[in-house]
Chain A
Amino acid sequence: MRLLVVEDDRDLNRQLVKALGQAGYAVDSAFDGEEAQFLGETEPYDAVILDLGLPKIDGARVLEAWRQAGRKMPVLVLTARDGWSDKVNSFDAGADDYVTKPFHIEEILARLRALVRRATGHASSDLVCGPIRVDTRAGRVLVNGEAVRLTSHEYRLMSYLMHHVGRIVSRTELVEHLYDQDFDRDSNTIEVFVGRLRKKLGVDIIKTIRGLGYLVEPPTPV
């Protein structure tokens, strides 16, 4: 899952990027409205954390611009203004959730998980497919009830595929959603990760569709 953090306060931005990275997300960051608008319109983020009080372009304007450009990623608005009228305005501008400062990072993490889950059409924080269960709250993957130890890159890959169960996910899409923009993108590394993941899981659930990408599918009942 790849996120964009837009916050003009350097310290808060750093804290958010760090905490989100530890939670298994690939994170880009922007410090003003202009940069944020450009990134949001060009990069395929799975969710955005957006501060409203931004230099250059106001956060609410950025959000409106994204929605007008047809960008549908879930947006979590972060603001010091906690009046209900500010909330109504944010939601009407296209926000999906709202957190007021000061906040605890844990709250942001919980809301983000819920946003991503809802955006991909999942009702529960546990993503289940056949013998595989991904507990997004704890950041764990279980096979037949047994926890499997995964690196953060492997978890990210598994989590993304499980969020999009039943849909073919191309390598390019995986690269775009698993790495932040500064990462050296080489789609070959994806093949290496998928190979390792298959070995660790021990069950054949990630299928390769030649020329298109990968597919995680619930096993057809025999």
Chain B
Amino acid sequence: MFRGFSLARVSIGTRLFVSAVLCSVIILVGAAFVLSAIYRRATERAFDERLQVYIQSVAANISSKNTSNAVDPYGLGDPRFTLPLSGWYWQIRIEGTAPQNVMSSLSLFGGRLPRLEDLHIQAREGSSREGYIIGPDERRLRLVERAIELPDGARYLVQIAGNADEIEQTILSFKKALWTGFALLASALGVTTIFQVRFGLQPLKRLSGQISAIRRGASDHIEGGFPHDIAPVADEINLLIEFNRDILERARTQVGNLAHALKTPLSVMLNEASGQDSLLAEKVREQAGIMRDQVNWHLERARAAARAGVIGVATEVAPTLAGLERTFLKIYAEKSLAIETHCPADLKFRGEKRDLEEMVGNLIDNAAKWARRRILVQTEAVPMIDGRLFLDLIVSDDGPGLPAEKRLDVMRRGQRLDETVPGSGLGLSIVADLASLYGGNLSLDDADGGGLRAVLRLPAL
């Protein structure tokens, strides 16, 4: 059977796990981006600081006009400024003069660095600007520039550029470590979430296990302590089961009381009329008989109604059969019947003892009415392919048997095939009704010795 996906059916465990993992991943990814940004800022700042040191050094040399060294006129002392296209450059523009009045490091190899001011980069603090540019060798450069005004009124723009790859390298290796670390953290969180969910849901799992044990009939109430949040549920279920039993018991008691209240006066009427031959007595006898049948029929219906919805009960079969055997030996003491019962000791019927007695009692009673001297009651467990367990209760007698075409009739309510044998005629139909109420059935066939064999199939435990 295919059922479409519905969020409402997703298990609590899956919900908790998926939501925990999603939240962890979102938070970790966000944190990784924020951390990367912070780290980039810090790295750029540190790089800029280094470039600023060079600017200060250049500025100091400009003001002292100490530019005697042609290779390193401003005494920066870093060979990268002299290597061609090293990615490290300096450049001094003398403001207020023609654009060609520019001095630059040897490494710049005749190229020019653009002005950040022209690229519309705002000064961050004082007269200093920082930013990225594309250098003469098409490399990405980090450029810091600063305007310097000497006391004599000369204005310079000092620019120092460094290879931005250095910044990117540092940030990249940081990012690698960060993402690896966070990935490990995320998977660790995922694994711990599984344990948390399992541990957290364990009481619920225990509760559902106990409920199914009650439904199977293996237990009659929920026991053991539960956490505060689901303890009320367990208590409510226990109360519900108890309530269910109370209602059932009350219904049965009332049915029993009604039976007593009606049948005693009926007995009186029948007996009062039985000694007389008048028309009135005849009428009373006839009507009292009809009333008796009606009372029996409706009591049986009421009992069946009270039976519906019983949960969490199981009955041991062997002691029930033993009780019935004792009873029948006394009831049919005159007939000197041999009743032989076989039953596995641990077999249980999934239902009320009263109902099992009613079904088996009627079967044995029917067998006893027809049997010559022997009744055999066998019980066996019948496992089904779908995993459910049933039991077969087989009652066979050595009586005359029943023709196949009449077998269905006796199981229909109110049918009595032979009016000469005492009994209300409801017996086998009650058994069939009750059995189907429990999801079982009754079938009749020939016994080995020629008598009738009744097979009652019922849910077992």
A114 touches B263 (CB 8 A): no
Q: Is A81 an interface residue (CB 8 A)?
A: yes
Q: Is B230 an interface residue (CB 8 A)?
A: no
Q: Is B357 an interface residue (CB 8 A)?
A: yes
Q: In B344-402, which residues have CB < 8 Å from any A CB?
A: 353-354, 357-358, 360-362, 365
A53 touches B260 (CB 8 A): yes
Q: In B299-343, which residues have CB < 8 Å from any A CB?
A: 303, 323-324, 326-327, 330-331, 333-334
Closest B residue to A117 by beta carbon equals B334
Give bound CA distance, A12 to B360, whole Å. 32
B256, B330, B353, B361: the one within 8 Å of A81 (CB): B256
With A84-B324, A91-B326, A91-B327 given, is the CB distance from A101 to B271 under 8 Å? no
Closest A residue to B424 by beta carbon equals A82
Give bound CA distance, A82 to B353, whole Å. 15
Q: Is B158 an interface residue (CB 8 A)?
A: no
B358 touches A83 (CB 8 A): yes
Give bound CA distance, A84 to B300, whole Å. 13
Q: Is A67 an interface residue (CB 8 A)?
A: no
User: Size band of the B side of the interface?
Assistant: 35 or more
Q: In B240-292, which residues have CB < 8 Å from any A CB?
A: 256, 259-272, 274, 288, 292
Q: Is A38 an interface residue (CB 8 A)?
A: no
Contacts of B268 in A (CB 8 A): 9, 11-12, 15
Q: Is A121 an interface residue (CB 8 A)?
A: no
Q: Is A88 an interface residue (CB 8 A)?
A: yes
Q: In A105-153, which residues have CB < 8 Å from any B CB?
A: 105-106, 114, 118
Give bound CA distance, A95 to B264, whole Å. 20
B259 touches A81 (CB 8 A): yes
With A85-B354, A102-B288, A104-B274 given, is the CB distance from A92 to B260 under 8 Å? no
Closest A residue to B336 by beta carbon equals A123
B256, B269, B330: the one within 8 Å of A91 (CB): B330
Contacts of B358 in A (CB 8 A): 83-85
Give bound CA distance, A80 to B66, whole Å. 132
B267 touches A102 (CB 8 A): yes
B271 touches A15 (CB 8 A): yes
A88 touches B327 (CB 8 A): yes
B361 touches A84 (CB 8 A): yes
Contacts of B259 in A (CB 8 A): 80-82
Closest B residue to A88 by beta carbon equals B323
Give bound CA distance, A84 to B434, whole Å. 14
Contacts of B303 in A (CB 8 A): 83
With A82-B259, A97-B331, A102-B288 given, is the CB distance from A12 to B353 under 8 Å? no
Contacts of A95 in B (CB 8 A): 330
Interface residue ranges, A against B (CB under 8 Å) = 9, 11-12, 15, 19, 53, 79-85, 87-88, 91-92, 95-98, 100-106, 114, 118
The 6 closest A-B pairs by CB, nearest first: A84-B361, A101-B263, A80-B263, A80-B260, A102-B266, A102-B267
* 7 extra interface residue pairs, beta carbon distance < 8 Å, beyond A84-B327, A85-B354: A12-B271, A88-B323, A88-B357, A95-B330, A97-B331, A102-B288, A114-B333
19 A-B pairs (CB sep. < 8 Å): A19-B271, A79-B260, A80-B260, A80-B264, A81-B256, A81-B260, A82-B259, A82-B296, A84-B365, A85-B353, A91-B330, A92-B326, A97-B331, A101-B264, A101-B266, A102-B263, A102-B266, A103-B270, A105-B271
